[in-house]
Amino acid sequence: LLYEAYYATLYKVCYKYIQHHENTEDVLHDVFIEIFNSISSYKYHGSFEGWMKRIATFKSIDFFKTKNKFKITDEDTLIDSNHSHNESENFIDHQHLEALSYDDLMKIIETMPNQYQMVFCLYEIDGLKHAEIAEILGIKEGTSKSNLLRGREFLKKKLMDFSKINQL
């Protein structure tokens, strides 16, 4: 019952980081094993779904880090002035974003450089704060902000390319 109720939700949580069906299933397998093994330690405090999503997120990040030998350095903290316009939460025109299909969105995220992709997903999709992202990834908050802005810029550029193609 637990599996049937949450497998789709947790699959999506994992997939956005892994973006590979079989690998996502492998991670999801580990996530459910972890959930079933530690469910007795869950004390009904806080959201159960949130607890499971956290496990899925961390398992996925671990997989991502291991597979890509991924490490964000704090050298990425430097933010040039051109990025400042992306600090707004609405950094992309809504029409362009709405027009984007799920598959196209995932393709863009997939092609995003690793260090931007991770922060982008944690912030924009999972809704974590920079302080939390910094702790999870072991980076400074400034680095997290910097990578988010660069990820947004990347997405914006890709969206512009998409709209140009569509106009043609």
Partner 1 sequence: MKSNRDIIKHKIDSHEQIPSDQLWIRIEQTLDKPKRRPVFFWIWFPLSMLTLIGGFYLGHYGNLFTNSAVNQPMNFVEETDDKNSVKLKNSDSMQEFWDEEDLVKSNKDSIVILNNENVLMYEVCEKVTVLKNKIKDNKEHNSRSPERTKSNKSQSKGKIVEEFQEPTSQVQNEKVSRGIDKLNNSFGEVVDEFVVDEILIVEDKEKNKRKIKPNVQGSINEPELEKAKFYITPFIGTNYYGSFQKATLFGSYFPAENTSSFGSGYGVSVRYMINNRVGVRANFSMSHTVHKSSLSYINYIDFMLPNITNLNFDESFDFESFKNQFEESGQLNAKQKMRLLHFDTEGYFVIKSFNSHQLSVSIGGGVTTLNQQNVELQLNGFESFSARNSLLKKSFMSFNTNLFYNYILTERFDIEASTGIRYFMGSYNFTTDFKPYLWYLNLGLSYKL
Contacting positions for partner 1 (CB under 8 A) = 3, 7-8, 11-12, 15-16, 21, 24-25, 28-29, 32-34, 36, 38, 41-47, 50-51, 54-55, 57-58, 89-92, 94, 97-98, 100, 102, 105, 124-125, 127, 129, 131-132, 134-136
DSSP 72: -
Work out the number of other CB atoms within 10 angstroms of the CB of residue 161: 11
Question: What distance in Å separates the CA atoms of residue 88 and residue 161, rounded to the nearest whole number?
Answer: 21
Q: Which is nearer to partner 1, 128 or 146 (CB)?
A: 128
Q: Which is nearer to partner 1, 76 or 120 (CB)?
A: 120
Q: Which is nearer to partner 1, 86 or 115 (CB)?
A: 86
Least distance in angstroms from the C-beta of 121 to partner 1: 9
Of residues 22, 115, 140, the one with CA closest to residue 61 = 115
What is the distance between the terminal CA atoms of the chain, rounded to a whole angstrom? 49
Token reading at 69 = 């030998």
Least distance in angstroms from the C-beta of 17 to partner 1: 12
